[in-house]
Structures are given as structure tokens and as C-alpha cells.
């Protein structure tokens, strides 16, 4: 296919595709799907080999967020029956992080719900980073705390944070359709602050909220433009008790096309399959590894993922290997150019981790377009019915007495 040959060649040369080419990827048919995966896989292997980076989430503070992001189980007015608790103590967070590191994760993502951190919150997170790095000096730490005020990114960097996650989530044009308590510009400002402070900038998107193909392409091009070192791709988990509970717009095939489009637009950047992997890719998760080079291990913020050992088995069975703690994530040309944001190993950032929990997996709960937008590609499959049985609320790990899943 001329399109895929062109996109592969551009990806191998780190050239940006046109918007028309990116849109064309999303419009490919199921008959062409394996060709799309194979083409994106060539680009992935060029820059990341067969390595898979494992990231582990620790939810420092869950629920009761004042932001009104419609997709988020922690949002203002959410009726989702998730865990709710205030700040974990540093030693509690370090204990939770240790489980992920023992399972093979090289990065710990510290997430807290809320609009943004106070200066006291920054002190708390600094103490938590110290506790985690005292036990494992080589671990990478990504913070995800919401909208940052002046000098807070610098304080996190000084405390030992390697990266900061704050997702754009959707196109600027449709941002206001879901969130009214902050703006797209607010989110761009926080990513800019983090990158400017020398933190690896991690920013991604949420798919499956009824957005158009043009919205998806717009946000991915915006992520490239702001210099995101890591692009987590979240697939909406429609939590009961949230406004988007009935938005089941994704199929495994569409998820793979979205991942491929992201890879072609961001060929040498860490692409992470984040929240919704198990819910929407399901048995086709291994194919996603041929496109993305990073996943979360075990559970997410307010939902449960598949067993950590199952993740490891999937990686091995698909012919990939877990990225080691001493291996750089990003290609040398990005690390040497300073695009790793000062991260010790040049790794990418954290991920929103779940389009479902939002407000703080991604910072302040960014947004995506709402159901009023009809996807341009007609991914109509008989299995698009509501599959709420696949959404499992997290009842173990941080904030509970049960052992974490890693």
C-alpha cells in the first residue's frame, strides 16, 4: 500500500507525516489492519527494538476532585463507587512502589487527584520521592499532580522527580465540551512549565469519547509540537456513575489504528498503551506491543488491570523483552539533544494511566470531546455493545489492606 510505504519511510527518517496521511491511517479497513500494524511495527523497532518499558502507578490520593471532567471517576459529582482516601504517607507509597519495581517496572508514577498541588503537597511528594529512591536509587519517578504553579516544577525536579505527566487529552477545538473548570491552555502551560524545569514532559490523549478522527489527529500533532517525550494513549473506560458511562465507541481494531497513527506522527517518542488496554484491546493486546513500546504493569488508579504476571507473560510470548533499569528509553539522538527532559536515562514520561480516572491520572482531569461528535471512520461492529462487565473498580493496593497487583 503506497500510504503505508510512505509512512514507514517517513517514520524511519523521523519525518512528520501530513495530516491527510494521519487521517488516512484511521480510515483504513479491517482487511488492511495487519498491514497497518506491520508498518507501524517497523518504525517502532527502528527506534526501540523489541524492548517494552514497564511503568507502575501509585495513587497517592484518590477521589473527591473538584474538577468536572466528564470521563473521570474521581470528578466532582461522580457516583462511581471507587476508593476514596487522602494522602498516603511516604512509607506507604514507597511500599506500594516496591511491588511494581519487584515486578519489573523501571518507572513509578505518583498520581494525586485534585486541581493542582499546594506547596505543602509538593513537600509531601518530595518526601515520597525520597522514600522511594532511598530504597531503589535507579528508579525513575514521574509526578502527576495537576496544574502547576510557578516554581513547583523546579521544586519537583530538585526533589528527584524525573518526569511530569499532564495530558492534553483532546483537540483544543473540542476541549470545552467536557471540562469547564479549566482550559486547554491551562494544560499546555503546565506541560511547558514541567519541560522548562528540566523534567521529561509526558503528555498524551484519551480516545473513545465520541471524538472525530480530526480531533485525534489534531491532539497528536499538538503533542508533537509541545515536545512530549512520552505519549500515553488512553482508551476511555466508561465508569458507571460518570457522564460518559454509555460511551462504548471503541473496537480492538480501532484502538490499533489509533496507536499506529500516533506512532507514525511520533516515530521516536515513547508511545504507551495506558488506561483501557484490557477493556478495549482485550485479546488483541499483544498486537499493540508491535506499535507501542511502553505499558503500565498491573492495576491503574481506580480500576484493576490484568495480573502483573499476565502482563509479563504476554510480553515474553509476543517475542518482546522488558526494558532494563539501566537501558535508555529514548533513542540516543533525542537524549543527546536534551529532549529527555533531564531524565537520568532519557526515558519518557508517565501516562495518564487511565482515561477513566482522570482528574488526576492526567493532572487536572483534562478532557475530550463529548458524544455529540461522530467519529469519521465507521468502526461499526456487533461487539460495540456496553461491556460494563469489563470495568473492574480497584479494591487492592494503595489505600487498602490488600497486596498490590504487580
**Catalytic positions:** 65, 69, 72, 109, 142, 202, 272
3-state secondary structure of 81: coil
Residues recorded for the chain? 406
Give phi and psi for 49, each to the nearest 5. 60, -135
Cα separations in angstroms, 330 against 40, 124, 263, 304? 17, 30, 14, 28
Q: Are 165 and 144 in contact (CB under 8 A)?
A: yes
Distance of alpha carbon 169 from alpha carbon 368, whole angstroms: 6
For the chain, count helices (H), then strands (E).
12, 10
- DSSP codes joined into one string, 251-319: -HHHHHHHHHHHHHHSTTSEEEE-TTIIIIIGGGHHHHHTT-SEEE-S--SSB--S-HHHHHHHHHHTT
Q: What is the distance between the alpha carbons of residues 15 and 27, in angstroms, rounded to a whole number?
A: 21
Grid cell in block for residue 48? 526501540
- As a whole number of angstroms, the distance between CA 357 and CA 359 comes to 6
Amino acid at each position: 500500500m503506497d500510504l503505508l510505504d510512505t509512512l514507514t519511510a517517513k517514520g524511519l527518517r523521523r519525518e512528520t507525516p501530513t495530516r491527510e496521511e494521519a487521517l488516512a491511517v484511521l480510515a483504513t479497513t479491517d482487511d488492511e489492519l495487519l498491514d497497518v500494524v506491520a508498518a507501524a511495527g517497523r518504525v517502532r523497532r527502528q527506534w526501540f527494538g523489541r524492548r517494552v518499558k514497564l511503568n507502575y502507578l501509585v495513587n497517592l490520593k484518590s477521589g473527591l476532585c473538584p474538577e468536572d471532567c466528564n470521563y473521570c471517576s474521581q470528578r466532582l459529582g461522580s457516583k462511581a463507587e471507587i476508593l476514596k482516601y487522602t494522602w498516603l504517607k511516604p512509607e506507604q507509597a514507597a511500599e506500594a512502589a516496591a511491588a511494581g519495581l519487584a515486578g519489573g517496572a523501571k518507572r513509578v508514577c505518583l498520581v494525586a487527584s485534585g486541581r493542582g498541588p499546594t506547596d505543602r503537597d509538593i513537600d509531601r511528594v518530595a518526601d515520597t520521592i525520597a522514600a522511594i529512591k532511598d530504597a531503589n536509587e535507579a528508579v525513575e519517578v514521574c509526578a502527576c499532580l495537576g496544574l502547576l504553579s510557578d516554581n513547583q516544577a523546579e521544586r519537583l525536579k530538585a526533589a528527584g522527580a524525573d518526569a511530569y505527566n499532564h495530558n492534553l487529552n483532546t483537540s483544543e477545538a473540542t476541549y470545552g465540551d467536557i471540562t469547564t473548570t479549566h482550559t486547554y491552555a491551562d494544560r499546555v502551560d503546565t506541560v511547558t512549565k514541567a519541560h522548562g524545569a528540566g523534567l521529561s514532559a509526558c503528555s498524551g490523549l484519551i480516545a473513545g469519547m465520541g471524538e472525530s478522527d480530526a480531533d485525534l489527529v489534531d491532539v497528536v500533532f499538538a503533542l508533537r509540537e509541545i515536545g512530549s517525550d512520552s505519549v500515553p494513549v488512553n482508551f476511555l473506560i466508561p465508569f458507571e456513575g460518570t457522564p460518559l458511562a454509555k460511551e462504548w465507541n471503541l473496537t480492538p481494531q480501532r484502538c490499533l489504528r489509533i496507536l499506529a497513527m500516533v506512532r507514525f506522527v511520533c516515530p521516536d517518542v515513547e508511545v504507551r498503551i495506558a488506561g483501557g488496554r484490557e477493556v478495549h484491546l482485550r485479546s488483541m493486546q499483544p498486537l499493540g506491543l508491535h506499535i507501542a513500546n511502553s505499558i503500565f504493569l498491573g492495576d491503574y488508579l481506580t480500576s484493576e488491570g490484568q495480573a502483573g504476571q499476565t502482563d509479563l507473560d504476554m510480553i515474553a510470548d509476543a517475542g518482546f523483552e522488558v526494558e532494563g533499569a539501566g537501558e535508555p528509553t529514548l533513542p540516543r539522538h533525542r537524549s543527546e539533544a536534551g529532549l529527555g527532559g533531564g531524565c537520568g536515562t532519557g526515558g519518557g514520561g508517565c501516562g495518564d494511566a487511565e482515561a477513566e480516572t482522570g482528574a488526576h491520572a492526567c493532572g487536572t482531569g483534562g478532557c475530550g470531546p463529548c458524544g455529540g461528535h461522530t467519529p469519521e471512520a465507521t468502526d461499526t461492529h456487533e461487539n460495540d455493545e456496553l461491556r460494563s462487565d469489563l470495568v473492574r473498580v480497584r479494591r487492592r493496593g494503595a489505600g487498602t489492606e490488600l497486596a498490590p497487583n504487580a
